[in-house]
């Protein structure tokens, strides 16, 4: 048994090093698709799995549905053997399977692991001995060992178990947090170090070998839980510091101080300070969600993460702060929000991307509509927005030529394509939640 297990590990490592290993990636979204392309660039045989038939069809036709990924990259991957499928029976063909599915919060701000559970249950019947399963979805510490491993062991048809070492037979399980930063082109994906935690030494060794083929540095940790906590620390660090400057912004506004001027001055200090910037709220899949994932898990250990929860609450409240400033700005011009026409500039959660996940713009629109405003939006990267997990807009992007028609224009996302001087000159009122109009002097600008 020892020889057989060790031989399987050696064989898989050899297949990885020679690019013969077959890689399956479940979830062809903002994390899974870029990862698939990285493996394809290194001449691996890659199969993308997704339950969305539209995505599968587009990928197999060489088309892209993500702004920052040009179709030519997908077409190049197809020439190297990449294909997409919704048939989970093909999991059996894979040497390594990497799970990149969403982990949102439910309506009670508790972790929603339904995507992970459904995916793992779809994979389990097709497991084979010696297969490597890696979870990349951001989640609370313990998910890999407490949720993924039991579901894989219960659902496979060969009575296989997660192998903890080089001696045991079975399949191998690891966790490696994704570190995608949409819109950031300053760092090549392969230059972002890859953290890996495995269920046992063999899993760590195999997962490290897989990622070492496409990343320049791999950092092995002692356990999946340590890797899961690493991801949460990275994002909670940002969440807490952004909450700090969001709160300071509100204080500075009352004191008549420009918070952005203060931040620029503070960051000239060559040590002990990193600049973070306020905004209308947090978006994206990780930073707005991770504090609540950890606080939920902490309660199982009779521990209350007061500081972290407070940061999450401060950031969650920022869209309300923006709306209150819109109400005040309109009121000073003898207008009520009820019945006013409001144009939101920027639907994406950050500059120059097409990602709506957890965008504060969505919350701002919802709050304005509830208060009786007529709301439209413009976003050069999002021509239309239908229905998502937390929104049902059924709206299309409005032309900027119509700016004069609106009682208020709200800068919610500071896309670089916008000509802010022209926007201010055409608008009756501009509420700037991103400091995008810095340097523009005009009486119709309200910065918040």
Q: What are the tokens at 423?
A: 């926007």
Q: Are 60 and 95 in contact (CB under 8 A)?
A: no
Q: Measuring CA to CA, which residue among 321, 363, 350 is closest to residue 413?
A: 350
Closest C-alpha to 126, from 205, 206, 197, 24: 24
Q: 82 with 46: CB under 8 angstroms? A: yes
**What pLDDT sits at residue 3?**
46
- Over its length of 448 residues, how does the chain's per-residue pLDDT go in tens digits? 444 678 888 999 999 999 999 999 999 999 999 999 999 999 999 999 999 999 999 999 999 999 889 999 999 999 999 999 999 999 999 999 999 999 988 877 788 999 999 999 999 999 999 999 999 999 999 999 999 999 999 999 888 999 888 777 899 999 999 998 877 888 889 999 999 999 999 999 999 999 999 999 999 999 999 999 999 999 999 999 999 999 999 999 999 999 999 999 999 999 999 999 999 998 877 777 888 889 999 999 999 999 999 998 999 999 999 999 999 999 999 999 999 999 999 999 999 999 998 899 999 999 999 999 999 999 999 999 987 767 788 999 999 999 999 999 999 999 999 999 999 999 999 999 999 999 999 999 999 9
Kindly give the interhelix angle for 306-316 and 318-332, rounded to the nearest 10 degrees: 30
Task: Tell me the two tokens of residue 64.
Answer: 């892209």
Calpha distance 121→115 (Å, rounded): 10
Per-residue H/E/C for 332-344: HCCCCCCCCEEEE
**Is the Cβ–Cβ distance between 360 and 391 less than 8 Å?**
no
Beta strand ranges found along 314-383 (DSSP E)? 341-345, 374-378
Domain 2-222 fold is Rossmann fold (3.40.50)
Instruction: Give me the pLDDT at residue 1, please.
Output: 40
Where does residue 394 fall: left (phi above 0), alpha (psi -120 to 50 degrees), or beta otherwise? left
Tell which residue, 102, 103, 83, has the closest CA to residue 93.
Answer: 83
Residues 6+ apart with CB under 8 A from 44: 19, 21, 22, 23, 80, 213
Take residue 6 and report the two structure tokens written for it: 């060790």
Residue 155 burial by Cβ neighbours in a 10 Å radius (0-12, 13-18, 19+): middle
Residue 4 pLDDT: 61
215 phi and psi angles, rounded to 5 deg = -115, 150
Q: Report the Cα 195 to chain-centroid distance in Å.
A: 17
Q: Which long-range contacts (CB under 8 A, 24 or more apart) does 293-302 make?
A: 293/103, 293/105, 293/111, 293/138, 293/139, 293/140, 293/232, 294/140, 294/141, 294/232, 294/236, 296/109, 296/110, 296/111, 296/140, 297/111, 297/140, 297/141, 297/142
Burial of 430 (0-12, 13-18, 19+ CB in 10 A): buried
Beta bridge partners of 48: 25, 84
List the structure tokens of 2.
Answer: 């020892």
Fold for 317-447, please state it: Rossmann fold (3.40.50)
CATH architecture group of domain 232-314:
Orthogonal Bundle (1.10)
Q: How far apart are CA 230 and CA 195, in angstroms?
A: 8
Q: Which two tokens stand for residue 445?
A: 């600008």
Cross-sheet strand order for the sheet of 96-99: 83-85, 45-49, 22-26, 96-99, 132-135, 172-175, 194-198, 218-221
3-state secondary structure of 409: strand
Q: Where are the domains of the chain?
A: 2-222, 232-314, 317-447
pLDDT (0 to 100) of residue 48: 98
Instruction: Kindly list the catalytic residues.
Output: 286
Shortest CA distance to 50 belongs to which of 75, 70, 25? 25
Domains 2-222 and 317-447 equal at CATH topology level: yes
CB atoms closer than 10 angstroms to residue 159: 7
Outline where DSSP puts E strands in 115-238: 132-135, 172-175, 194-198, 218-221
Other Cβ atoms within 10 Å of 399 Cβ, number: 9
Q: b/e per residue, 383-397, with b = 16+ CB within 10 A?
A: eebeeeeebebebeb
Buried b (16+ CB within 10 A) or exposed e, 306-339: eebbebbebbbebbebbbebbbebbeeeebebee
């Amino acid at each position: 048994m020892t020889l057989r297990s060790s031989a399987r590990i050696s064989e898989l490592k050899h297949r990885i090093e020679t690019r013969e290993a077959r890689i399956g990636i479940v979830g062809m979204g903002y994390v899974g698709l870029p990862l698939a392309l990285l493996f394809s660039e290194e001449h691996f045989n890659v199969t993308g799995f997704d339950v969305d038939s539209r995505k599968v069809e587009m990928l197999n036709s060489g088309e892209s549905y993500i702004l920052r990924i040009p179709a030519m990259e997908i077409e190049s991957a197809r020439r190297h053997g990449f294909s997409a499928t919704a048939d989970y029976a093909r999991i059996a063909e894979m040497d390594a399977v990497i799970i990149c599915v969403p982990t949102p919060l439910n309506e009670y701000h508790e972790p929603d692991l339904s995507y992970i559970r459904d995916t793992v249950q779809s994979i389990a019947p097709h497991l084979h001995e010696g297969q490597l399963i890696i979870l990349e979805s951001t989640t609370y510490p313990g998910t890999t060992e407490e949720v993924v491993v039991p579901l894989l062991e219960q659902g496979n048809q060969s009575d296989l178990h997660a192998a903890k070492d080089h001696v045991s037979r079975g399949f191998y399980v690891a966790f490696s947090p994704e570190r995608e930063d949409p819109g950031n082109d300053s760092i090549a994906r392969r230059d972002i170090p890859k953290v890996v935690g495995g269920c046992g030494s063999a899993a760590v060794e195999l997962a490290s070998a897989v990622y070492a083929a496409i990343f320049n540095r791999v950092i092995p940790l002692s356990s999946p839980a340590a890797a899961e906590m690493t991801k949460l620390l990275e994002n909670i660090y940002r969440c807490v510091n952004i909450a700090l400057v969001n709160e300071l912004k509100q204080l500075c506004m009352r004191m008549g101080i420009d918070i952005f001027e203060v931040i620029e001055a503070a960051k000239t200090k060559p040590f002990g300070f990193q600049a973070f910037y306020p905004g209308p709220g947090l978006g994206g899949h990780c930073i707005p969600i991770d504090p609540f994932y950890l606080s939920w898990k902490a309660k199982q250990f009779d521990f209350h993460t007061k500081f972290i929860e407070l940061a999450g609450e401060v950031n969650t409240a920022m869209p309300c702060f923006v709306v209150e400033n819109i109400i005040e700005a309109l009121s000073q011009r003898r207008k009520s929000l009820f019945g006013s026409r409001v144009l939101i500039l920027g639907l994406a959660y950050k500059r120059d991307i097409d990602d709506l996940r957890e965008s504060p713009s969505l919350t701002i629109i919802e709050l304005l509509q509830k208060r009786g405003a007529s709301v439209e939006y413009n976003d050069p990267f999002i021509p239309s927005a239908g229905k998502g997990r937390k929104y049902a807009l059924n709206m299309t992007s409005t032309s900027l030529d119509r700016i004069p028609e609106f009682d208020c224009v709200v800068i919610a996302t500071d896309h670089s394509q916008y000509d802010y001087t022209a926007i201010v000159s055409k608008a009756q009122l501009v509420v700037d939640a991103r400091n995008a109009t810095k340097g523009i002097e005009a009486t119709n600008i309200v910065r918040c």
